[in-house]
Every structure is written in structure tokens, then in C-alpha cells.
Amino acid sequence: MAKGVISAIDQAEQLKQDGNLYFKKNRLGAAIDAYTEAITLCPNIPVYWTNRALCHRKRNDWTRVEEDCLKAVQLDHKSVKGHYMLGLALLQREKYAEGIKELQRALDLGRGAHPNSYMVEEIWQELATAKYEEWERDSTKRSYDLRNLEESCKIALKEKHVHDGNLNEEDDEVTDSTSEQLAALKLVFSKAAEADTPTEVPDYLCCKITLDIYRDPVITPSGLTYERAVILDHLDKVGKFDPITRETLLPSQLIPNLAIKEAVEAFLEKHGWAYKTE
């Protein structure tokens, strides 16, 4: 019995390898068939599901991506690829809140397992884009509602002054008092709209090397903060020294800058990620 189980696992692993080879050659149909056979033999191995989902993703078959990734994260709730592609699939259906939640989960898991991998950066960019699109959609609706409300308030204010005798209904001339109230009304709605206006990211929230907003900030003994992946790349390729102070610097001396990280997250939440990411 045990021998049969091992044989099934070995066969499934061979099918996975075949699927990987087909995928590299862009033979997506053959890859899907191979992963499907592997799943039939061993349905409880999450990587078979995420590998097949990746094929569906390349075909833009988002319904099947969602189905396979749901199964993958059920089998392994720490599957970075499972949560990531599930998030992308949900976003395709404009389920922003759910999709962003899955992308955030993928990012948190990725940072914990492989903080400097290309995939963490890719997830971060997708998350930033998703949050911006959600903000843009919501802010457009809020702006439309605000304009309608402002117009209704103007009409109501003018009607009140007509009733009070402070405005001539025929020529629409207003008294100084009415003009002041209309100006005050305009200012109130202008202030209300500020939250939906894109804003520049403060310099202190940006890496001194890339000039881009921090993803994973670390602080050096000299008190300077850098993006972790960038400073590690500098230490590996250029030399073991701080690029600004030129003081000796080792990877082990880098400490997460939690204060800046929290400030970045607070800024992004407040402004709806309404800024441009490169």
C-alpha cells in the first residue's frame, strides 16, 4: 500500500516537471494537462494547483485562476503565489476589497519568507496599483456626489435669499451677504474635496538612493534609512560601506525602521495610494 502511494507521488512529481518544461516552452495546453494529471494523482499538493493557475493566468482565464488558487490557499494558507494570483483574479472582477486583502496577505507572507525576492516587489507594485484604482473609483464617485450636493446647496441658499428678499429672482443679482455665504459654501466643498486630490510623497518617506517610496526600510548605525533590497545590493556589489557617510557597514548592522514603515503605511492609507509608482 505504502509502495503504491510513493509511486503515485513520484509519478505526480514527474508530471509536474513535465508541466514546468512545457510552460517554459509556452506550450500552455500541454502544461495544463500535465498539472491536471498530477492533481488527479495527488490533489492535496498546493503547488500543482498554483502551477496550473499560472498557466491559466497567461491565458487570461481568470475564472480558472481563481478556482485553482482558492484550492491552493485552502491546502496551504501560507502560499504566496496562491494568495497573489487569487488577489489578481478578484481584481479582474472588480472585487477590490477582497483582491487587495489577498495581495496584502501575499506581500506579508513574501516579506517573511523571501524579503528580497523579485516577487515581493512585483506583489507590492500590483498592490499599489490596485489601491490606486480603488481610490480613483471611489474618489470619482465622491467628487460627483460632492458637486451635486454643492449645487443643491447653492440652489437652496439662493431660494432662501429670494424668500427673504435679499436676491432678485428675475436678474439673479445677489447681495453682499449672499455673496459671502456662497463663497463660504464654495470653500467648504473645496476643503472636502482635498482628500481626493493626489499628493506628492514627502521626501522623508522615500529612499535616498532610488527616490521611490519605502517598501521595507532599514536604518544603519549612522542613523540613515535605506530600502533594504537596495542597500543590500550596494553592500554586495559596491562595497561594505554606507553610500552616503562612507562608514563601514555590514548587512548584520541593518535594523528594520519600524517608525518609517508605519509612517509610510499611514500616508498610503490616508491618501488612498494616490501617487505615481514607477
Tell which wins on pLDDT, 18 or 148: 18
pLDDT one-digit tens code per residue, 181-218: 777 777 777 776 666 565 677 888 888 888 888 888 89
Residues 209, 191, single domain; the answer is no
Residues 247, 186, single domain; the answer is no
Tell which wins on pLDDT, 228 or 195: 228
- C-alpha radius of gyration, the chain, whole number: 27
pLDDT one-digit tens code per residue, 59-116: 999 999 999 999 999 999 999 999 999 999 999 999 999 999 999 999 889 887 665 5
Q: What are residue 224's phi and psi, to 5 degrees?
A: -90, 150
pLDDT value of residue 118: 63
Least confident range from 18-22, 117-121, 147-151: namely: 117-121
Tell which wins on pLDDT, 125 or 252: 252
Residues 92, 21, single domain; the answer is yes
- Is residue 215 helix, strand or coil? coil
Residues 35, 83, single domain; the answer is yes
Report the DSSP pairing between strands 225-227 and 217-219.
antiparallel
Report the DSSP pairing between strands 225-227 and 255-256.
unpaired
Residues 30, 103, single domain; the answer is yes
Considering only CA atoms, which of 255, 250, 213, 207 is closest in space to residue 232?
Answer: 250
Range of the domain at 14: 2-115
Number of domains, the chain: 3
What sign for the dihedral angle of Cα 262, 263, 264, 265? positive
Global pTM reads 0.61
The CATH number linked to 240 is 3.30.40.10
pLDDT one-digit tens code per residue, 162-181: 666 655 555 455 556 667 77
pLDDT value of residue 255: 92
Residues 103, 9, single domain; the answer is yes
Residues 180, 211, single domain; the answer is no
